[in-house]
Structure 1
């Protein structure tokens, strides 16, 4: 039997925080994409309008310039006014396609000729052509498409870059908000976890959200029913065992007196059989009382105490009853044993049952090892190997392993009940790790380390 906590996973606050951050990021990206498409359309309209305006502004100026020129048919280049980068260039041609006038960067852009009036797009240019004087003068304004693409990229980047800071801020804000909102739920979860050590008191439901409050009410109702059922079962077990002790003891005393009065013979043998059965019944009632205590409360002490003294007392008591002192190998470290908040009476019941089981079911010619160290209590004996399926059943009441020794089948069930109620871990292993046979029971104890006071100066 092994007590374990569920493996750590993703908390609800982390999941919701990540989902909210992802949703905000996705919405921002979608909005940035839609804004980018709309921005691309607007940028195209603005730059197309600029192309048309340049062509229409240049047309009358070019016409006036051509009327006054004196250099014949040579192409005139407009000199730039100071250093600048020309994003929109223009060229003026006649109806035959001869270039009459062009801006300073028109030659670099290589504006194609023969374009009809209106807008045109090539693989690298966006152009607009305007005609005048009955088609004898054509002005073409052009823009490099890479300029538009760069403008769109910069505008979209300006929308997306804030996402780098927004995503962690959104996650942090969502996580903090959810954490604060789920604080009552976390307290409710911890209160339920605290019921692992035999505490079946109602769970406080104050401050819980409306979605969780019905769950708290259902949990408290379940705890109430469970507490009532356990109390009724424990009360019946304890009362039955207690009421049986006195008549069993009286019957055993009368039987022993009858044995002393009878002469040797069949009647005396039957009386001894009756005495043996009564002793077995007396031990069974004692085990039932121990089981009732193990399944009840009070398994933890208010103040920690060393367990070594309790263990030595139990070993002395078992030795007096069974004369098994030579069959035990005892190790207690440190001196006095570890400090633990496990109730001494509960530990005495646990230790006694494990030691008695080891002596009863172990090989008669091998010692039983009893070890009490910091954080664990181990009892092991050599003998037949117990299968894994049988190990799981041994912690149930009245379950017994492959043995001919007499017993009630309650020893390990009592130990398991104490471990459950006190929040301990019980590990059963067969064969003993590193050995060819045997059986080992290991109980991991709640130990307490007292702080050593600092020496005074």
Structure 2
């Protein structure tokens, strides 16, 4: 599944790219305006130069001994000449020219006013009743160079402004979305069983109704789950006392009646009542597993808890339980001791019921808070293995059980943020069943 795009990144990049694009468009528009203004200024300079030089050139030509003779104006010092001029008569004869003038850039015949060639911009004016003409030429490359220089003056600041605007936009968006990010963190950090309202201050007006709707939905879900858990726990608790009393009466009745069919029926009733009592106990454990109170306020050492539960179950398991503890002094987690005892007891009882009766049950705890319960026995099909942690789902064996043991263990693991894995065959073996629970070390 493609990951969702970050709103902060989307806004930051979108605003920065939008501002950059607007700046580039504004710079292009300003470049066109500058180009137009530069053309007007250069054209005015051409016209002014021609009108100032022409009277002086006419005076110099008239005072010559040979008016029709060509004369070059010498340069006072070497320099790059952007404006060159050419003075001719009405027959096209050259009378006067600047020292760097190239005749190829001028028109074959003088034309008054502005003209443009492929490489130059020219202006021509006349005097003495259009018998003397002057043309001033300017390279177009000079104009393009000036326009490009002006455009660079607009573009170069963008190299600094674009990263600054990106940082500024990102900072502004982050500050604006600070309350939304805090709301997201509040959702991410809470546990799966925490359905209390999410407190978030100063949310944007667009997000605030969504937060209210989520809180209302979580409140309705919390009430529904509490009603279900309360019903389960109360039902199991209310059944415990009458079941115990009825079981005692049946046991007393079974001892008083003589041998025969009636006593066999009493024995069957006793077995059914015992199974019902176990079911009510499992339902109470399930209600606790799916409720709150699974986490301890202070870190708990699992080593003594594990040793105590295993020692208690050895009375019914005989010598089948093999316990392996790490060499560390303590294995600390934040699980509630009662919740850990319920989880471990259900895992071991599941191994005792469904595992091979003549094979050991290996219980181990690593220094990294990895709990493993491994037993020998028939393989569990993969399709069934994926459903074993659900309620009232049992393995392929004929052993008695309610199908709630692994469901209770899975609910507790989920409530404390642990990872429960089922495997068949057991790791390193060709058969058997293994349950691994990885707790988060404190």
Q: TM-score, normalised by structure 1?
A: 0.88
How do 1:128-143 residues align onto structure 2 when only pairs under 5 Å count?
128-143=123-138
For residue 373 of structure 2, the aligned residue among 374, 379, 384 is 379
- Counterparts of 1:436 and 1:111 in 2: how far apart (Å)? 100
| Alignment correspondent of 2:90 | 95
- Give, in whole Å, the separation in 2 of the partners of 1:150 and 1:386: 83
User: CA separation in 2, counterparts of 1:433 and 1:341?
Assistant: 28
Aligned to 2:391: 397
Q: How far is 1:304 from its partner? A: 0.7
Question: Cα deviations across residues 69-92 of structure 1 (Å, max 9, x unaligned)?
Answer: 335644322223434322222112
Q: In the alignment, what sits opposite 2:434?
A: 440
Pick closer, same or farther for the CA change 1:72–1:317 going to 2, 3 Å.
Answer: same
Q: What whole-Å deviation, never above 9, does each CA across 1:111-148 have from its counterpart, x for those lacking one?
A: 34335223222222222222333433222212212212
Q: Does 1:417 align with 2:411?
A: yes
Q: Give the counterpart of 2:348 among 355, 363, 371.
A: 355
Query: How far off its partner does 1:321 sit?
Result: 2.1
1:368 aligns with 2:361: yes
CA RMSD across the alignment: 2.5
Maintained 8 Å contact 1:109/1:144:
no
Kindly indicate whether residue 191 of structure 2 is the aligned counterpart of residue 196 of structure 1: yes
Gaps of at least 5 residues in structure 1 are 1-5, 449-457
CA drift at 1:202: 2.0
CA distance in 2, matches of 1:311, 1:162: 69
In structure 2, the CA distance between the partners of 1:28 and 1:223, relative to structure 1 (3 Å rule), is same
Residues 1:229 and 2:224 are matched in the alignment:
yes
Q: Which moved more, 1:416-425 or 1:342-351?
A: 416-425
Taking a change above 3 Å as real, the CA distance of residues 344 and 57 of structure 1, as seen in their structure-2 partners, is same
CA contact (8 A) 2:92 2:110 kept: no
The answer to which structure, 1 or 2, has the higher relative contact order (CA under 8 A, 6+ apart) is 1
The 2-side partners of 1:347 and 1:363 are apart by: 25
Residues 3-402 of structure 1 mapped to structure 2, 5 A cutoff? 10-70=5-65, 73-107=68-102, 110-323=105-318, 325-326=319-320, 328-364=321-357, 366-373=359-366, 374-402=368-396
How far apart are the structure 2 equivalents of 1:432 and 1:92? 107
Asked if the contact 1:308–1:335 (Cα under 8 Å) also holds between the matched residues in 2, the reply is no
Give the 3-state SS of the residue equivalent to 2:154 in structure 1. helix
Normalising by structure 2, report the TM-score: 0.91
Q: C-alpha displacement at 1:28, in angstroms?
A: 0.8
Give the distance between the partners of 2:107 and 2:422, measured in 1 at CA: 91
Question: Are the equivalent residues in 1 in contact too, given 2:355–2:377 (CA < 8 A)?
Answer: yes
Question: What's the secondary structure of 1:161's corresponding residue?
Answer: helix
Where does structure 2 lack aligned partners over 5 or more consecutive residues?
A: none
For 1:268-322, what per-residue CA distance to the aligned partner results, in whole angstroms no more than 9, with x for missing partners?
3322222222221111111111111111111111111210111111111222123
Change (3 A) 1:16 1:108: farther
Q: Structure 1 stretch 87-96 or stretch 75-84: which is displaced more?
A: 75-84
